[in-house]
Every structure is written in C-alpha cells, then in structure tokens.
Amino acid sequence: MPESTSSTSFTSRRGLLFGTAAASAGALLVGCTSNDTKDEKPAADSRPAADDKPGKHVTIGFAGPQADHGWLNAINDNAKSRAKKYSDVTLEITEGSNDTAAQIGQIETLINKKVDVLVVLPADGKALTQVGLKAMRAGIPVVNLDRIFNTPQAYRCWIGGDNYGMGLSAGHYIGEKLKDKQDAKVIELAGLDNLELTKQRTQGFDAALKNYPNIKKVARQAADFTVESGQAKMAQLLQAQPKFDALWNHDDDQGVGALRAIKQAGREDFLMVGGAGALSAFQAIQADNSVLKATVLYPPTMAASAIDLARALGQGKAIGGLAEFEIPVSLTLYSAVVDKDNVGQYMATGFR
C-alpha cells in the first residue's frame, strides 16, 4: 500500500518510536521541567511521570491526501480518534486531496487560521515542501507524516514507516521458514514500480535473502495496490510459476485480490507473507486456513503518534523514557512481523 520512508517525491501512503506499533505513544508524552528559574539544568530524572492530564490548549491542523485506500482511511481515523482523547486538543482537519495544488491551498488556510501545530501527510512530499517551509517560517511547527518533504527545514519532526525494513522483515521471516529446504524458490508481488517505496521494499527483501543461499527469487510482478490488480497480477504469477515455496506481497489490500487468485487456482503449496497490517490479513492469519501466514507492519497508528507529537510540541513537552528535553527530529516505526503467535496483540490496530 502506498507508504514511504524518506523519498522526496510521491512515494508513499504511509529511530524506533515508542515500541513496535507505536499504538500507545500518547501515554509516553510528559511535560518538560522548566529551566527558567535556575541557571543549572535539571536532572533528567526530575521530570514528572507520564500522564494525560489536560494542559495548555492546542489547535492542531491536519492535512492529508484523499483516503482512497484502506491504509489512508486508517490514517485519518487514527488522527481523529487520538485527538478526541485529549480535552485540550482541537483538530482542524481538511478534506483530503491527491491534487497537490488543492492540498497546498488547504494547508495555507490552516496557516492563516494560525493553528498551533500542523500535521501533514503530503500527497507529494517534494511538491509540498514550500508550504511546509511557509508554516515553519510563520512559527507553526510541522509534524511531517510519512511522505517526507524535500528539506528538514520544512518540518520540526518527521514520523513514518520503514519500507526497506519491511522488505528485510519479510525476507528474514521467509528465510527462516525455508532455511532447511534445498533449492527453495520465492516470488514477489510488488506495488507500483514508479514509487520509491516499492524499490525500497524490494531492496530490503533482496538484502535479507542474501543470508539464505539455498533460496532463489524466481519471479517478481508489480501490481498497483488495488484488489483488482492484486488478483490479475497474482494470476499471471501462478500461471508462470507452477512451483514455488513462498510469496511476499507488498500490500494487504492487493493481497485480498491475490488470495482470490490463489484460491481460484487451487494452490496451497506455498506460504504467503503480506504487508501493512490490514484487519482482513490479521483475521486470515488468525484463522490459519489459507496460505497467508504472516504480514509485515506499516502501522497507520503513526497518525495517532503524530497527534501526540503535535500536542507535545504545542505544549512544550518532551517524550517520556528519553533523557532529552526536546522531541527528536526523526522517528521511524519498526516493521514488525505479525503471525499466528502474536496476531491477537495487533488485531485492534488492523485497518479495513
């Protein structure tokens, strides 16, 4: 599903942040100890314990692309739900758009409203860099969500997923499952090849497989993150590859279509690993009645964490558990593998 780590163009729909899925980041945000009364700096352990007690009111402007994909819809839902948790937060959310000019206009409206903090998941990171710079120059901190702007001057903090890490996690999981099988064969159902994120996922996957000399990748087909493309491209792969041992599919939405093609072909002779963390994938993994045995997370909970970060920035707070009194510049989520052993832990984060 379209997500990104650090590319400077339209590359996505999507340091380690607060654990594997960042599902409880808000509980880790705490107030900084004031340093305006003494010359000496306070000790790191003098900060108050983490809590969600109301503080200074913060108006957060949220601007994202059109929710035309399950993951993006989950991004919006996570942001809204997290903001409702706080009595001291008002969320000004724009109507999502994949038109860069329209999204720039929406963000400029939020700047003119003088919101306290901006959270932006740009439709095109490169194209929206200037409006990010405009907000920062206006004194409005920007939390850049997932698709990254062209320069770090355009944001105060970036938080997003790890596409290369997704590939690594998928490759190592498959590698461990097949490490004792001689001449094992794997295939890959990728996303859109014109997106940097797709290249990063493939690069990570290939890097992981190098640790398993008994495994060879024999085919790769690019789809486009839809159910229909997943079904069509998977059908082509199945026809071209009558025998293989494992499949990595980059995206759980297109994985729905892939599973349809696999069922129609009557194939049960390989294992499948998905990507992103859709509820349908979690349910299939839990049921354990199909080839889908695991999926690698690209958690939409990052949007909830972005709201936590924006609130903390607006209130002059820091992150609990760190010695630093300032929020880090960059926070990269971990691409955890979810299989039947831990799926229950992640079920509540699955997106539709």
Q: What is the pLDDT along the chain (352 residues), one digit of tens a residue?
A: 444 444 333 333 333 333 333 333 333 343 333 333 334 433 334 433 235 789 999 999 999 988 877 888 999 999 999 999 999 999 999 998 889 999 999 999 999 999 999 999 998 899 999 999 999 999 999 999 999 999 999 999 999 999 999 999 999 999 999 999 999 999 999 999 988 889 999 999 999 999 999 999 999 999 989 999 999 999 999 999 999 999 999 999 999 999 999 999 999 999 999 999 999 999 999 999 999 999 999 999 999 999 999 999 999 998 888 888 899 999 999 999 999 999 999 999 999 8
Closest CA to 297 of 186, 174, 168: 168
Predicted confidence at residue 140, as pLDDT, reads 98
- What string of DSSP letters covers 236-295? HHHHH-S--SEEEES-HHHHHHHHHHHHHHT--SSEEEEEE-BHHHHHHHHHT-SSEEEE
Its CATH architecture, for the domain 25-161+300-334, is: 3-Layer(aba) Sandwich (3.40)
**pTM for this prediction:** 0.81
Please count the residues of the chain. Answer: 352
| Cα 275 to Cα 11, 163, 280, distances in angstroms | 16, 10, 12
How many whole angstroms separate alpha carbon 114 and alpha carbon 94? 14
181: its two tokens: 């099988």
Pinpoint the residues of the chain covered by CATH 3.40.50.2300. Answer: 25-161+300-334, 163-297
- Burial of 110-142, coded b for 16+ CB within 10 Å and e otherwise, reads bbeeebbbbbbbbbbbbbbbebbbbbbeeebbb
Q: What dihedral angle (degrees, nearest 10) is formed by the CA atoms of 71, 74, 79, 85?
A: -150
Which of 79, 87, 45, 35 lies closest to 320, judged by CA?
A: 45
Model pLDDT, residue 262: 98
Class level of CATH domain 163-297: alpha beta
Select from 55, 8, 31 the least CA-distant residue to 327. 31
